Amino acid sequence: MPAPDRLLRAGPPAVEAPDLDEVFRVHADRLWSVALRILGDAVEAEDAVQEAFLAALRTPDFRGDATAGTWLHRILVNGCIDRLRATARRRDRARPLDPAVTADPAVTADPAGRLVTRLAVDDALTLLPTEQRVAVVLVDGLGYSVSEVAQIVGTPDGTVKSRCARGRLRLARALGHLREGRP
């Protein structure tokens, strides 16, 4: 068991400040990457990571059957989901993809073409329901296994697989114009 995971086994209140620094150093970059991919905004991602660490400190119910990393990821993902739902409530609808965004397959070799494609994918991700977006980002975007994602979000493996499949189908429909090289 990695040292930071052992630090949290007793529960966050028992961890001393220097140990928390180590836990933060070990997990902060990966957590920020997850939050950035889910939320799509660097400032929101930073806030979500900070809130996750604060929640971990306030929550004495660390489950001994999970590693500290998985436990922190679960807190973070739940916080990101809450942020996405709050954002969805504030706006009536997700903005549609900009029809002017195109990416000719011949152009994707250049950085500008890749950027346009990345922006289109990021926009398309905002169209997915929250649960599908989280599953697709964690599995396809960040390379987590289905079982790791299932543990992080607290659902069975099959649920994660179906959310990924449905999310990928919606993404394929939303991004079909990129494959066809048209607006």
CATH architecture of 95-183: Orthogonal Bundle (1.10)
CATH architecture of 1-92: Orthogonal Bundle (1.10)
Looking at residue 23, what is its pLDDT?
74
* Average pLDDT, consecutive stretches of 10 residues, N- to C-terminus, the chain (183 residues): 51 47 83 90 91 81 66 88 77 44 46 74 86 92 90 93 94 78 54
Rounded to an integer, what distance in angstroms lies between the CA atom of residue 139 and that of residue 150?
10
Q: C-alpha distances in angstroms, 91 versus 82, 83, 115?
A: 15, 13, 26
Rounded to an integer, what distance in angstroms lies between the CA atom of residue 56 and that of residue 161?
28
Looking at residue 16, what is its pLDDT?
41
Looking at residue 26, what is its pLDDT?
87
Q: What is the end-to-end Cα distance of the chain in Å, rounded?
A: 51
Looking at residue 93, what is its pLDDT?
44
Q: Which residue has the tokens 């970059």?
A: 29
Residue of 152, 156, 98, 143 whose CA lies nearest to 123:
98
Looking at residue 66, what is its pLDDT?
64
Tokens of 153: 């979000």
The residues spanned by each domain of the chain are 1-92, 95-183
Looking at residue 123, what is its pLDDT?
83
The answer to whether the CB of 107 falls within 8 A of the CB of 125 is: no
Looking at residue 10, what is its pLDDT?
47
Tell me the whole-structure pTM to 2 decimals. 0.57
Rounded to an integer, what distance in angstroms lies between the CA atom of residue 154 and that of residue 173?
28
